[in-house]
Chain A
């Protein structure tokens, strides 16, 4: 097969481009006296200039634009990556985040001169408290996993303040991998709770494992199978009955915003993924934001400083004295990823309470529409026979199919299907997660996609299965054909990575 122009193109790093002495920018001559030599101690000073790329401005621009074209992003196509909520990021949010008062604000600015930013953060805290049904919010955590860590540290601090050292944390076997990782990082021990035949928490298994050593149950509701656990009230009762806290992983909040509130379900601690549920450009690894909201009994332990409003309406950062405070302390430098706060607040203000509810309802509708298309019994080929729904009949904002029957009947694995979807211009869904579903394919379309896009995606899946039926499994097994790089050797990439650019 002939290569595409992008496949033929040799990709160089920015360090391999340019020429010695070439510059994109020339600093003006210094017009103030240089600072004295002792300002920075000698041992911290460079003996040689840093080795930076030496390129012209057009070279820089072309380099990064070319790299961006080799990537797949939400602005190029449908991105139904289950559990990641890859919703469209409205351009309005970029406009407000770029305003100088937001983008150019220095993090060390005196609070008196950053009143607008603090007001925005305080207002965002109030909004998140209302959405979650939990009154106390900290915006500090930098990502969902960081919010989880904050939650587990809060739980530990809560128990230790009562003189209890509980060392176990329960997580369902469908939980996100970050849950057990967080627990381990916080020095506690993970105990897995089984899933029942409906895809929810096995309540009897939970009852058997809930004892006085349990600090917390971490739960995502709707869970990773895209199912709302109807036993949540009973689960909360069991967990609270043994004195443990209930932690809500907000990864799937996009299904329930404005409809049900974790606080009302009995949760003590919630983390939000602002970059998922409240839009951000994401998918490349950052920056994210994982604020937490907590109940009254957890509030004294929240990270410091807190954004507070005094009676005269002025905003400030409350640091508390470290000796008298029960706080778990600071989680990071400064207050969090402020640009994410601006975009999330813009989203909440543009949509309003009814709009957020609409967003969740449409996300659930889109997922069920796509699921119904894929389950159509009259379809040729019968997609649902190759890719049945793993649990239940309907879903919330996402659903998990099993590629097991497809693998046995057509000799193509979920990985092959995912790679072939790239040739149709779609980012693949999440694959092989959750682990309890054989050959899992996890689809989350989000509310921002049109019916035409959902139809085209369903047609592409049917087309790939039809190819496998008529032309054999090799078509999918050798995919993708059209992407800048073809199928990668994942084993070699993990075991023998070739780092071409020495740093």
Chain B
């Protein structure tokens, strides 16, 4: 994905993560800005299913040709699924950060935390501000 793109149906965390909420579950990933800043992703190692995520704490590492970076949890919860396809094709994080490049799915433990996340207007404003 060559051009900046931030879908309106997602919630955003200041560490450049997104969350797509489906009732008490959420799919998590990193934003277009994050993958652009990282450069080409070489490895993504997801944590195991069952791992507890704590909002604002790192839960995984993503390695690009430039650096290894922590991925920060936008919400708290337990991992119920990880994107296995990324083991062989981590470039999906660059090519399709909101679709095939999703990272993990979690069951929310603190659903009210969503109120602390940004909507698309607030997030894109934080990028230009």
Contact = CB atoms under 8 A, between A and B. Distances in A.
Interface of A: 177, 415, 431-433, 435, 438, 490-491, 494-495
Tier of interface size on chain B: 10 to 19
B67 interface: yes
Interface in B29-78: 37, 39-40, 42-43, 65-67, 69
Contact of A491 (B37, B67, B69, B91): B91
Contacts of B42: 490-491, 494-495
Nearest to A492: B42
Contacts of A435: 67, 69
Contacts of B65: 490-491, 494
22 contacts: A177-B67, A415-B39, A431-B66, A432-B39, A432-B66, A432-B67, A433-B67, A435-B67, A435-B69, A438-B37, A490-B40, A490-B42, A490-B65, A491-B40, A491-B42, A491-B65, A491-B91, A494-B42, A494-B43, A494-B65, A495-B42, A495-B43
Interface of B: 37, 39-40, 42-43, 65-67, 69, 91
Nearest to A490: B65
A27 to B, nearest CB: 47
Contacts of A432: 39, 66-67
A436 B66 CA distance: 13
B3 to A, nearest CB: 12
A329 B42 CA distance: 39
Interface of B is mostly: loop
A185 to B, nearest CB: 15
Point out which of A177, A433, A491, A494 has the most chain B C-beta atoms below 10 A from its C-beta: A491
Nearest to A407: B36
A431 B91 CA distance: 21
A246 to B, nearest CB: 26
A491 B63 CA distance: 10
Contacts of A494: 42-43, 65
A490 B64 CA distance: 9
Nearest to B91: A491
Contacts of B40: 490-491
Nearest to A435: B67
Contacts of B67: 177, 432-433, 435
B52 to A, nearest CB: 18
- Among B37, B65, B91, chain A packs the most CB atoms within 10 A around the CB of B65
Nearest to A488: B65
A411 to B, nearest CB: 10
Would you list the 7 A-B pairs with minimal beta carbon distance, nearest first? A490-B65, A432-B66, A494-B42, A491-B40, A491-B42, A495-B42, A435-B67
A344 B44 CA distance: 42
B86 to A, nearest CB: 12
A495 B88 CA distance: 9
A495 B63 CA distance: 11
Contacts of B43: 494-495
Contacts of A177: 67
Contacts of B37: 438
A177 B67 CA distance: 10
A433 B67 CA distance: 9
Nearest to A415: B39
Nearest to A431: B66
A495 B87 CA distance: 11
